[in-house]
């Protein structure tokens, strides 16, 4: 087939860089937003892509606005438990009572008990369920609410933290968050690098 192609076409085709993947498991990579010229608009678009992860049940279940975690697809946690003073549960019903260092498959029906060391709720100040994109964005940037993290530390948290990473390895019976932790981390960095702009309220 090559003999029917002109030399200039062949040279251009061979010299062209390989196109990078722009979607990984349903999550677009930062290069997908390169055509947005305005930094603020690109930053907002990047954050809205991050929201596909942030607002997924794997994340929202542990970021409730009240004192009880959720499970599955935002269902009430069974058995009923509460966050306690530090997000690890109350005495006698700590998260670690049921949640070990790793996922444990059920012996009978399909499913599993999620696990990671440590296993706990996000601070109440980082509750996201029912919040708007603008409200969640403001929470993430506010060091008084986000655990004292700078934007650089927030990037490290999103890109490397094991409990965050559990969202993509949630065990049998649960849908993982879109994309991968690597892509989520890259989106976070690109959002920060373009000004960490928030959507309008």
Banded pLDDT at 69 (limits 50, 70, 90)? very high
Q: How far apart are CA 66 and CA 68, in angstroms?
A: 6
Task: Report how far apart the first and last C-alpha atoms of the chain are (Å, whole number).
Answer: 56
Phi, psi of 114 (to 5 degrees): -70, 150
* DSSP H or E run through 90: strand 89-90
Predicted TM-score of the model (pTM): 0.88
pLDDT at 109: 86
- What average pLDDT does this structure show over 44-65? 98
Per-residue pLDDT band for 85 (boundaries 50, 70, 90) equals: confident
- At residue 201 the predicted structure's pLDDT band, cuts being 50, 70 and 90, is confident
| Mean pLDDT on 176-180 | 98
Q: What is the mean pLDDT of residues 114-123?
A: 96
pLDDT at 108: 87
Summarize the confidence of residues 78-87 as an average pLDDT.
92
177 token code pair:
């968050």
pLDDT tier for residue 20 given thresholds of 50, 70 and 90: low
CA 154 from chain centre, in angstroms, equals: 12
* 114 CB neighbour count, 10 Å cutoff: 22
Using pLDDT thresholds of 50, 70 and 90, give the confidence band for residue 17: very low
Instruction: Please tell me the predicted confidence (pLDDT) of residue 4.
Output: 44
């Amino acid at each position: 087939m090559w003999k029917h192609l002109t030399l200039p076409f062949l040279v251009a085709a061979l010299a062209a860089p390989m196109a990078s993947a722009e979607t990984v498991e349903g999550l677009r990579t930062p290069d997908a937003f390169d055509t947005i010229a305005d930094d603020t608009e690109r930053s907002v678009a990047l954050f809205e892509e991050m929201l596909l992860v942030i607002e997924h049940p794997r994340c929202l279940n542990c970021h409730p606005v009240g004192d009880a975690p959720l499970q599955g697809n935002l269902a009430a946690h069974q058995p009923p438990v509460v966050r306690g003073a530090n997000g690890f549960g109350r005495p006698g019903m700590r998260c670690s009572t049921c949640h070990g260092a790793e996922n444990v498959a059920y012996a009978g029906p399909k499913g599993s008990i999620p696990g990671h060391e440590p296993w706990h709720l996000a601070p109440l100040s980082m509750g996201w369920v029912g919040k708007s994109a603008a409200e969640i964005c403001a929470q993430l940037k506010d060091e008084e609410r986000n655990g004292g993290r700078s934007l650089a530390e927030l990037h490290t948290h999103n890109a490397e933290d094991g409990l965050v990473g559990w969202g993509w390895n949630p065990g049998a019976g649960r849908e993982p968050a879109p994309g991968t932790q690597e892509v989520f981390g890259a989106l976070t960095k690109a959002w920060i690098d373009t000004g960490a702009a928030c959507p309008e309220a």
